[in-house]
Amino acid sequence: MARERKAWYVLLPLAVFILLEIASLSLLKRSSTLQNIWLNRLSHRVLAFTWGGSERVRNYFKLQQQNETLALQNAELLAELLAYKAREDSYNARLMMDSVRPGRRFRLIPATVTKISRNSAHNYIIIDKGSEDGVKERSGIITSRGVVGIVYAVDRHYAYGLTLMNPKVSVSARVGETGLVAPLQWSGRRSDQAFLQDVPIHYAVSPGDTILTSGFSSIYPAGIPIGVVKGSRLVNGISNQVEIRMFEDFSTLRYVIVAENPDRDALRKLETP
């Protein structure tokens, strides 16, 4: 009982002080036009700050969703650009050839990376598109910055692939638009380092030369940029090994495009003796 009485003695002066403050502010507001304007401005500033803060918090939580939407739209635009380039290349080829052969067509499917490994000797990738989306085994995985890998296994809604950071993956690459074609493989050390293998010693490859997909395989469209030449060294006295700095940044990879070739099975039958 004594403790409750003591608490009441403490709270009573505080309550009186608050009531007096409210009363004084009310009188101050009524007594002067200038003070009334000042108080209104102050209240408006407080409300604006509160509303602005809540709006900033709301926008912050929407930012990730907006970024994902924009990245997916960029992937879809890249797919349309590559399809247009393929049609243009096919048209140019028809102009140059007496006998018309249809250009190689690719179906381009935007996808999101679900999981990717980067610190292993045999790295892999899982994407959120599968057989119901048209993804098939042996389809290429690319971005606007280069080659990512190849689809190895397909589920209904997901696909598992090997990235270029895997010694099992080899890409048919070309030096420039019309230069030498040679196999390209990951160095096994850095994520952005690869080697162009078996380059003849008489063929001049200069630092800064761009490396592109050749289009000689049924996996990747022609002309996808892979990287630039950094240098070369002689191997066993018979060929050069050319060091490539790849454009693709696997540490920030989020969105990819699956390049599915509908003519792959027919081409494989023709290639089988």
Read off the pLDDT of residues 245-268 as tens digits, 9 standing for 90 and up. 999 989 888 888 998 888 766 666
Contact 90, 77 (CB under 8 A): no
pLDDT band at 5; cut points 50, 70, 90 = low
The pLDDT of 195-223, averaged and rounded, is 90
The CATH number of 107-271, from 2.40.10.340, 3.40.50.300, 3.40.50.180, 3.40.30.10, is 2.40.10.340
pLDDT band at 93; cut points 50, 70, 90 = very low
Question: Please, what is the average pLDDT of the chain?
Answer: 77
The pLDDT of 33-57, averaged and rounded, is 56
Q: Which residue has the higher pLDDT, 102 or 263?
A: 263
Q: What per-residue string of b and e applies to 210-235 under the rule 16 or more CB within 10 Å gives b?
A: bbbbbbebbbbbbebbbbebeebeee
Highest mean pLDDT among 15-29, 45-59, 156-170, 229-243: 156-170
Nearest to 247 by CA among 213, 206, 205, 198: 213
Residue 98: per-residue pLDDT = 34
Q: Tell me how crowded residue 174 is: count the other CB atoms within 10 A of its CB.
A: 22
DSSP one-letter string for 125-187: EEES--GGGT--TT-EEEETTEEEEEEEEE-SS-EEEEESSSTT--EEEEETTTS-EEEEEE-
| pTM summary value | 0.65
Q: Is the pLDDT of residue 55 over 70?
A: no
Nearest to 250 by CA among 138, 130, 139, 141: 141
Q: Residue 23, Cα to own-chain centre: how many angstroms?
A: 61
- Please state, in angstroms and rounded to a whole number, the distance separating the CA atoms of residues 194 and 186: 4
Read off the pLDDT of residues 137-174 as tens digits, 9 standing for 90 and up. 999 999 888 899 999 999 999 999 999 999 999 999 99
The pLDDT of 52-56, averaged and rounded, is 56
Q: Is the pLDDT of residue 178 over 60?
A: yes
Contact 90, 103 (CB under 8 A): yes
pLDDT band at 272; cut points 50, 70, 90 = low
Residue 96: per-residue pLDDT = 35
Residue 193: per-residue pLDDT = 93
Residue 203: per-residue pLDDT = 87
Spell out the residues 6+ positions from residue 24 whose beta carbon is closer than 8 angstroms to its own.
none
Torsion-angle region of 102 (φ positive above 0: left; ψ -120 to 50: alpha; else: beta): beta
Q: What per-residue string of b and e applies to 133-154 under the rule 16 or more CB within 10 Å gives b?
A: bebbebbbbbbbbbbbbbbbeb
